[in-house]
Amino acid sequence: MLLTACSANTSDQRQYPDVFINTEYVERPGAGSLLAVAKDYLSSERLRPEPIKPLPVQTITADQLTVEKQNVVYRIGHSTLLLKLDGQLILTDPMFSERASPSQWVGPKRFHPVPIRPEDLPPIDVVVISHDHYDHLDQGSVEALADKTAVFLVPLKVKPYLVEWGVRPDKIIELNWWESVSVKNTEFVLTPAQHFSGRGVLKKDNTLWGSWVMLGENARVFFSGDSGYFGGFKRIGKKYGPFDLTLIETGAYNSRWPFVHMFPEQSVQAHIDLNGKVMMPIHNCTFDLSTHDWNEPLLKAFQSSKKRDVTMVAPQMGERLVIGEAPPISSWWK
């Protein structure tokens, strides 16, 4: 595996800050807002908190991925996407578990089966992680991928989690914002996001969060991870755009945490700021993580995209999408 680091010190001697901060002011969700949302869950009468019938899921096979020659993307669910870019298989925020939770006994449960199980995947070239929250950094998924993945790219201080879960340390590269590494012919850049981190009550913002720019020979892709709307999107678009495809967080928004998750209209604006050509809303239709209806993010994003003359795609889970193309939307979420 050919790795070329650019301004990226992967030594264990790197000096880490104790706490990471955003580039703009952020009011981080506190215990009060989380308790209020929990109360909303119990008291609000939502029409569609979850699908009333099985969602359409297209099965993916290892042979299909191995023989694929084009630059394509498959949506696995939530923020997990499987890309074939420059002949390499790339996974974003792998979440294959049944629940987005520290326990598989309680917590938000998956709406749909995964199009392919991690044990059925062919060897993966690169896994990128955006941050350490349970719906993006999943222990069971990492354990299943530890031996079949060549390189894990993570933000600063996320590496110890992966090592604890069985990934060899030499497979893991930690990056700071604006640092990059090339794996074969694809350059990966960790870019800023407006969010926060922590996997427990006591640990807050001790690990970095971010978005990812993927620069292939014939395609440029942006993966947002989790983020509120902020000026960083314009900076990223100016430096690395235009993007053939933007994978933009659109879901789990709430008026109680407006700084760390985007509302659908903001997601469309972020795509515009990034100088994107085709937008795919992600972070929706898999787990119930807020108080909006399960399909509201896609409904509102589609409405906003039409108003703003933005080309949006919304493939079914497991559906093959050629990067840069925009087939008609089937509105399967209705």
For tokens 């630059």, what's the residue? 71
- Three-state SS at 73: strand
Edge-first strand order for the sheet with 149-155 is 172-175, 149-155, 124-128, 88-92, 80-85, 72-77, 320-322
* Residue 235 belongs to some domain of the structure: yes
Tens digits of residue pLDDT in 14-59 = 567 889 999 998 877 666 666 766 677 666 778 899 999 999 999 9
Q: How many domains does the chain have?
A: 1
**pLDDT score for 288:** 95
43: exposed, middle or buried (C-beta count within 10 Å: 0-12, 13-18, 19+)? Answer: exposed
| pLDDT beyond 90 at 296 | yes
Pinpoint the alpha helices (H) of the chain: 31-43, 62-67, 139-145, 159-164, 232-240, 264-273, 296-307
CATH at 186: 3.60.15.10
Residue type, position 234, single letter: K
What is the rounded average pLDDT for all residues in the chain?
92
What is the token pair recorded at 294?
Answer: 């399960």
- Between CA 78 and CA 95 the distance in angstroms is 8
- Between CA 218 and CA 85 the distance in angstroms is 9
* Residue 257 belongs to some domain of the structure: yes
For residue 314, give the nearest of 115, 91, 112, 75 by alpha carbon.
75
Structural element, H or E, at residue 221 = strand 220-223
**pLDDT score for 37:** 64
* Residue 26 belongs to some domain of the structure: no
**pLDDT score for 10:** 38
What is the token pair recorded at 319?
Answer: 């559906």
Tens digits of residue pLDDT in 230-284 = 999 999 999 999 999 999 999 999 988 899 999 999 999 999 999 999 999 999 9
- Domain residues for the domain of 62 are 57-322
Contact at 8 Å (CB) between 272 and 303?
no
Cα separation values, 326 from 66, 122, 279, 295, 330, Å: 23, 27, 9, 20, 12
85-89, 95-99, 203-207, 216-220: which has the minimum mean pLDDT? 203-207
What is the token pair recorded at 142?
Answer: 């990492």
- Between CA 122 and CA 85 the distance in angstroms is 15
* Residue 221 belongs to some domain of the structure: yes
* Residue 293 belongs to some domain of the structure: yes
* Residue 109 belongs to some domain of the structure: yes
Strands 186-191, 245-249: pairing is unpaired
Could you tell me the maximum CA-CA distance found in the chain, to the nearest angstrom?
54
* Residue 237 belongs to some domain of the structure: yes
pLDDT band at 13 (very low <50, low <70, confident <90, very high): very low
* Residue 8 belongs to some domain of the structure: no
Residues 6+ apart with CB under 8 A from 33: 256, 257
Contact at 8 Å (CB) between 60 and 73?
no
Residues 6+ apart with CB under 8 A from 53: none
- Between CA 220 and CA 187 the distance in angstroms is 10
